[in-house]
Chains A and B, each alone.
Chain A
Amino acid sequence: MSAPLLSVRGLTARFRAGGREVTAVDDVSFDVGEGEVLGLVGESGSGKSVTLRSLLRLLPSGARVEGQALWQGRDLVAMPDARLRRVRGGAISMIFQEPMTALNPVLPVRVQIEESLRAHTALDRAGRRARARELLDLVGIPDAARRLDEYPHQFSGGMRQRAMIAIALASEPRLLLADEPTTALDVTIQDQILKLILDLKDRLGMSVVLVTHDLGVVAETCSRMAVMYAGRIVEQGGVREVFASPRHAYTLGLLGSVPRAGTERSALRSIEGTPPGLAAIPPGCAFNPRCAFATTVCREVRPDLSPRTPGHLAACHHSDRVAQASLAA
């Protein structure tokens, strides 16, 4: 792979909660290549959204972020606020799960798009007006000229998500961070929005980091994926490889939890128990209390995320046994 667009190393995010400090993201490292779609997948509380937000310093005050995120030779984590403001919403844009809360309800959509154009482009007033309309066309909002003057509440859920994408694209970003962009949408609309994002990625030459809890969305849209559990990446690799032969017991369990065609009305290979709370992450491998492969070493030593085959990393003491089990399943 050529030099990555974004290179994250040892990213850690801590919060104060109930008088003590909890670690929401713990020593996370990954690269995003040019033009690739990286999926960050995990269940609630796994740290996937916090990872994304900590890159752009979108965390509540009091959060502490450590580590490195190299972007065009500069570290986003250490960058001064004023400088980061030019990157955020500029070369790196973000879209969110709930467009109704991410959009300003009292401003017409036009104003919200032009605001981003004013901050990140050199266009004059007339240029911004024309560009705003082009952007709505680009994201597939019909009758763009009229709809520019409407307010977010006049848009349907799918159209709001399109409007938010238009705002994110106003700055012609190199990297789009998408935090569960389709979770609140119906399945036929989700399908339209995911395809729109892929289409725009190709046309505009962007890279995308897509945070989702839905393995189906990862299978349909991502080139590489990272699976998160209790704040850490437990497995990372090409989507085909990870789906075909998972190397971490959690990934294996997650894939087994999703019903597949041909196994109707049989018991799913579920994972016992529930994900740990941030305040009580088990020592050793955080997954060990729920893991069918766990042994003494898992309860004592935290496994490193290390390569198992080229480009396929897992943080599991029993990666080989998991791989065998996944072939047998």
Chain B
Amino acid sequence: MTEAILTAEGVSKDFPLPRSLSDRLAGRPARAVHALSGVTLEVRRGETLGIVGESGCGKSTLARCLVRLHEVDGGRVTYGGTDVATLTGAERRAFNRRVQMIFQDPYGSLNPRMTVRQILAEALSVHRMVPTARIPDRIAELLALVRLPSDAADRHPHAFSGGQRQRIGIARALSVEPEVLVADELVSALDVSVQAQVVNLLLELQERLRLTVVFVAHDLRLVRHISHRVAVMYLGKVVEVAPTATLFDDPRHPYTQALLHAAPSLDPGSRSRRAAARGELPSPIAPPPGCPFNTRCPHAFDRCPAEVPFLTSRGPDHVAACHLAAPRFESAR
């Protein structure tokens, strides 16, 4: 088995909510969004790990914790065995270089006043990737790598389409020769035909550059297509992790099962008229006690609201956090 390069160990992250004066006077306790509660996950060298879940499940927060854009409140994130929170100075810069994040919004993450050349040159010079004289050559190489025309270098981000902007974001991330790319909803904002181009590019670059990729997305089809392993999150917890084929063929957590059934299939022949899951996502401000899915789970029994299930083995490399070993999918009602 390949080594873990980046790990989350019992990571928790809360975002405190503003407290009004009347809350304070009434002595109401401070409230917080519990974005992550006790997430343990490893990213292995050379793999693509998909992280899926619905809004509010904490997948983006986890991505940001992995690259240390957020400091964790509990647990730790390690890179090559070292707690990243302890890194300072040159070590921290080295970590920032080797673990790169690409954002969902290609409009918001590129400086509109800089040309593509300036954007890439900045990354190259900050991390002293190549001698100054070599920078123009390296920019040309990077643009070719992400298949942008060479005359793209002297244009501003607004002159590009969404897919091209996402390529600029990828080029910037790759300019510093990272080991790990953390892609948060990389293609969600793009049209389907353009999504496929970016996905193909990512697959190709990963093979060529031997990158490790963390692919955070809500689109199950995309995650299935790209990932070697998939982690499913719900309300700040990882509920199931397995190799992609195992997860999609033999999901063991009732939430994973509901999610897979709810995703519209591309086969007009396989239709169901019953909803896959009942109820709504609970608020991450006050997640239900016990198993976070117990309020919507068709199998819930007295143990579920009382006791938090931990991730336990369901087969080779397959873990799920459910009190039942092998629940069978049931649609709502």
Measured CB to CB, the residues of A under 8 A from B are 43-44, 156, 158-159, 186-192, 194-196, 198-199, 213-217, 219-221, 239-240, 243, 253-261, 263-265, 267-272, 274-275, 290
On chain A, the residues within 8 Å of B280 by CB distance are: 156, 158-159, 189
Residue of B nearest to A215 (CB): B266
Whether B265 contacts A265 by the Cβ 8 Å rule is no
Q: Does B275 interact with chain A (Cβ within 8 Å)? A: yes
Closest 9 CB pairs of A and B: A216-B264, A259-B225, A270-B196, A191-B262, A257-B196, A186-B54, A43-B191, A271-B193, A268-B196
Whether A259 contacts B222 by the Cβ 8 Å rule is yes
Residue of A nearest to B55 (CB): A186
Whether B263 contacts A213 by the Cβ 8 Å rule is no
Whether B262 contacts A272 by the Cβ 8 Å rule is no
On chain A, the residues within 8 Å of B196 by CB distance are: 256-258, 268-271
Whether B274 contacts A188 by the Cβ 8 Å rule is no
Q: Pick the residue among A43, A239, A264 that contacts B193 (CB under 8 A).
A: A43
Sample (15) of A-B pairs whose CB atoms are under 8 Å apart: A187-B262, A189-B280, A195-B274, A216-B263, A221-B264, A239-B268, A253-B193, A259-B199, A259-B221, A259-B224, A264-B224, A265-B203, A268-B200, A274-B191, A275-B193
Measured CB to CB, the residues of B under 8 A from A are 54-55, 161-164, 191-197, 199-200, 203-204, 218, 220-222, 224-226, 228, 244-245, 248, 258-259, 261-269, 271, 273-278, 280-281, 332
Whether A217 contacts B200 by the Cβ 8 Å rule is no
Interface centre among B245, B258, B264, B269 (most CB of A within 10 A): B264
On chain A, the residues within 8 Å of B259 by CB distance are: 187-188
Q: Pick the residue among A186, A196, A220 that contacts B265 (CB under 8 A).
A: A220
Chain A nearest CB from B63 CB (Å) reads: 18
Say whether, besides A216-B265, A220-B264, A240-B269, A267 and B225 are in contact (CB < 8 Å).
no
Q: Pick the residue among B193, B248, B275, B281 that contacts A186 (CB under 8 A).
A: B281
Residue of A nearest to B206 (CB): A265
Chain B nearest CB from A266 CB (Å) reads: 8
On chain B, the residues within 8 Å of A196 by CB distance are: 275
Whether B269 contacts A187 by the Cβ 8 Å rule is no
Q: How far is the CA of A186 from the CA of B55 in the complex (A)?
A: 7
Whether B203 contacts A243 by the Cβ 8 Å rule is no
List 18 additional A-B contacts (Cβ < 8 Å) besides A258-B221, A270-B199.
A186-B55, A187-B263, A189-B280, A191-B276, A192-B278, A213-B191, A216-B265, A216-B266, A219-B266, A220-B264, A220-B268, A243-B268, A255-B266, A260-B221, A265-B225, A267-B200, A267-B204, A271-B193
Say whether, besides A186-B55, A187-B220, A272 and B197 are in contact (CB < 8 Å).
yes
